[in-house]
Amino acid sequence: MESVVCPTNPDYGFEFVRRSYSDPIQIPSSGHIFRSQTLRLSWTIEMIWLPHRSWLAARVEGQSSLARLDIGVHVTAPTIHAGFGYKMDEGYPGSPLPLEMWNVGPLDVKLEAGMRVCQRIFEMVDGAPEKGYEGKFSIQGPTPPS
């Protein structure tokens, strides 16, 4: 039986999809084989936060070496808006960047723990926002270590 998901439905919640259709893994020291024709939701090791009222934004770009192997890294929504990862908590390190990674090529590719898969590009924007991004995806990903 085919499952149909409608993200515009007010009852839709990605958390249900994540719990029902995925198994969390941590890349072991021996690596992880990223199979052809699969999708991986991933998070960066590095944390980031951008102040709500900054003139700063950022983009996430995948490594070209992976693109040449037909692996896309966060192609769908590369902009990091002011307010991302920001929490009114002194010492909060920010949030990891969520990455949608997919292998659309014919080859299985070995990913290794800590390998570089993307880069952040910071940009000045023309004007500071009245308020930063405060949507449900502002603070996300694994809980940072204390």
95 sits in which H/E element: strand 95-103
19 CB contacts (<8 Å, ≥6 apart)?
none
Helix (H, G, I), strand (E, B) or coil at 65: helix
Nearest C-alpha neighbor of 80 from the set 51, 109, 64, 57: 57
Q: Which of 46, 61, 100, 130 is catalytic?
A: 100
Respond yes or no: is residue 100 known to be catalytic. Answer: yes
Q: Which residues are tagged catalytic?
A: 100
